[in-house]
Amino acid sequence: MTKAEKVQFIIDSLQELYPNPKPALDHKDPYTLLVAVALSAQTTDKKVNEVTPGLFAVADSPSKMAKLSIDHIKELITGIGLNNSKSKNLHLMANQLMDRHQGIVPDNFEDLEALAGVGHKTASVVMAQAFGIPAFPVDTHIHRLMWRWNLSNGKNVEQTEKDAKRLFPREIWNDLHLQIIYYGREYSPARGLDIQKDFITRKIGRKSFLKTLIK
Residue 90 burial (C-beta neighbours within 10 Å; 0-12, 13-18, 19+): buried
Active centre residues (catalytic): 121, 139
Q: Which amino acid is at 47?
A: K
SS3 53: helix
Q: At what angle do helices 30-39 and 45-58 cross, to 10 degrees?
A: 130
**Spatial distance between the Cα atoms of 66 and 54, rounded to a whole number of angstroms:** 16
Contact 168, 174 (CB under 8 A): no
Q: Which amino acid is at 127?
A: M
